[in-house]
Structure 1
Amino acid sequence: MEFLIIAIVILVAVGMFRYFRQRNFLKVLTQDQFREGYRKAQLIDVREPQEFEKGHILGARNIPVTQMKQRLVEIRKDKPVYLYCQSGSRSARAGQLLNKKGYQDINQLKGGFKKWSGKIKTK
């Protein structure tokens, strides 16, 4: 029983550490804040191609988080990066990768594409 409590405390502590560390480099923006800045930035949808084709934010490029390491040359370091996925977890992972590679201005859509009410494009 003691071991279980210690394990739970460690897991919670690790989760909190990741959350607060992430907040230092990844700005989570409301839909209005995201809308204000994404046209002047690199708008990247990190979902898989089949998700992107079903619908995406107008003007977004599709660079799936699973391909991001190989496609970093497509993302400029001197411009803000606006990321989104379906709900927020994949874009957070993408933001973490970009941060490790030296990108500075990294932004994420709060709630992801499923909460987006702006213009979208479908194929």
Structure 2
Amino acid sequence: MAFELDGIEQVEETELAALLNEKGDETIVVDVREPEEYEAGHIPGLPLLPMSSIPAVVAEMDKEKSYIFVCRSGSRSQNVALYLKDQGFRDVKNYAGGMLEWTGEVTSGLEWFVKDVHELYKK
């Protein structure tokens, strides 16, 4: 069951896994860790958009979309969600456990590094 922290909905592992299995395009799940962390192990199919690059692309992001952010522990992704909420995004969520809590499938390598934020919307 999701809960809220500082006005941001916290998604738990079972909810994230179910959402990823649906393969719908309503919610965009984004890994916000650094490239070396992502390469070491990430949830298959998730795009990498490092936290540090978000301020440079926020103006190009679609405020009408739903987002869930993932990091190592849930702290950086929470900060990204808070930042975007402050920028006028209405539907931003945090994966509370981060990769430390993820027990599902993990893959390594640089699968999908977002070079153009519009890639996020072309599933």
- TM (normalized to structure 1)? 0.74
How many Å separate the matches in 2 of 1:112 and 1:58? 14
**Residue 104 (structure 2) pairs with residue 118 (structure 1):** yes
| Distance change >3 Å, CA 94–CA 116, structure 1 → 2 | same
List alignment gaps of at least 5 residues for structure 2: 110-123
How many Å separate the matches in 2 of 1:94 and 1:102? 13
How many Å separate the matches in 1 of 2:18 and 2:98? 16
Cα shift at 1:118: 1.3
**For residue 104 of structure 1, what is the aligned residue in structure 2?**
90
Structure (1 or 2) with the larger CA radius of gyration: 1
Superposed CA RMSD: 1.8
Cα shift at 1:71: 2.0
| Distance change >3 Å, CA 99–CA 33, structure 1 → 2 | same
**Residue 65 (structure 2) pairs with residue 66 (structure 1):** no
Q: Percent identity?
A: 27
- TM (normalized to structure 2)? 0.74
How many Å separate the matches in 1 of 2:47 and 2:93? 15
Compare the two structures and name the one with the higher helix fraction.
1
- 1:3-18 equivalent positions in 2, closer than 5 A: none
How many Å separate the matches in 2 of 1:50 and 1:91? 16
